[in-house]
Each structure stands twice: as C-alpha cells, then as structure tokens.
Amino acid sequence: MTRSTHDPKAKAADLSALPAVLSRYGLAVKTVADGDAIPGSFWGPPEAGIIGSDLFVRQDTPLHSALHEACHFICMDPARRARLHTDAGGDYAEEDAVCYLQVVLAGAFPGVGCARMCADMDAWGYTFRLGSAQAWFEQDAEDALVWLIRHGILGSDGTPTWTLRQC
C-alpha cells in the first residue's frame, strides 16, 4: 500500500466522536486551531499527528487520517508506543492491520461505516492490489484480520476488544 495526496474536495466526516472512541485506548485527542501546524503530522496539514498518546487534529483533518494514526498507536508494540513521535513505522503486516482496524472502527462514527471509510481512503490515495480499499477489506484482508485477532485487538468475531497490542 502506498499513499498519495489528500483530496481537498472530499466532504469531511464529523470528528466529534473521536475523543469518546479513542479514549478507550488511552489516546487523548488534541484539537489544533484552524490554519495552525499539526504537531506530529507525518504528511503535513491537514493530516493527523501523533506524539505519544496524543492525537492531534484540526477541524479539517480527515477522519480516515485520524483513525489511521490512532490505529498505529493501537497496533504497535509497547516499546515503540513509548517512543512514538510523528513516524509510526511498522512492517507491512502491521500496516495492513492498521488499515483493517481503521475500517472496523469507522463503524463507531455516525454516518461513516465501512463503505464511507473505504471510499475516503481511496480518494486520499491509499492503494491496494485489488484496486480499492473496500475490495481489499472484503476479499484480500484475511491476514490483517488474523494479525489483529492474534494480538488481541479484535475478538474472534472481528469486533474491537478495545485493548492495545501488548507484545
């Protein structure tokens, strides 16, 4: 998977549910003023930033970006989480798990869900070998699901356990 540039014409999803959803993982959502730089943003504004357990967003930050950074925090091992600043790193298996988890967590946001999250990911420039995020999620992401279950992040039924990776 690779990324390109943000589609500024995409309608922004409501970020108001972020603090309630992400606090279950020990993440604090910090809102940055419109026009200000976003601390810890790997891609630059308006993309989300992450430093430690603080997720930085502006009102124009895309929900998929906020969830992607949050899911890196959730999926990384405790040693990397302890020194997290801007670049989440990780290997391909973890990156796939991050993408899968952000689609699952999209269901916690009114009016978003799987189809909307996948469309937003496609519009932003995520690329998958099946041509779209939704095709990947539905047909080619079994390894990501298994990874998330093995690390206790999703239950065997594919629903969030609301716990962080521990090893």
Per-residue pLDDT tens digits for 68-103: 999 999 999 999 999 999 999 999 999 999 999 999
Strand 54-57: give its sheet, edge to edge.
28-31, 54-57, 49-51
Task: State the Cα angle at 4 between 107 and 158, rounded to 5°.
Answer: 25
- Report the pLDDT value the prediction gives residue 13, as an integer from 0 to 100: 60
Q: How many Cβ atoms from other residues are within 10 Å of residue 4's Cβ? A: 9
- Report the pLDDT value the prediction gives residue 23, as an integer from 0 to 100: 98
Q: Could you give the CA distance from residue 131 to residue 122 in angstroms, rounded to a whole number?
A: 9
Which residues make Cβ contacts (< 8 Å) with residue 107, sequence separation at least 6? 113, 114
Residue 2 has pLDDT above 60, yes or no: no
- Report the pLDDT value the prediction gives residue 12, as an integer from 0 to 100: 55
- Report the pLDDT value the prediction gives residue 10, as an integer from 0 to 100: 43
The helix (run of H) or strand (run of E) holding residue 31 is strand 28-31
Instruction: Identify the top-confidence range among 8-12, 127-131, 161-165.
Output: 161-165
Residue 105 has pLDDT above 80, yes or no: yes
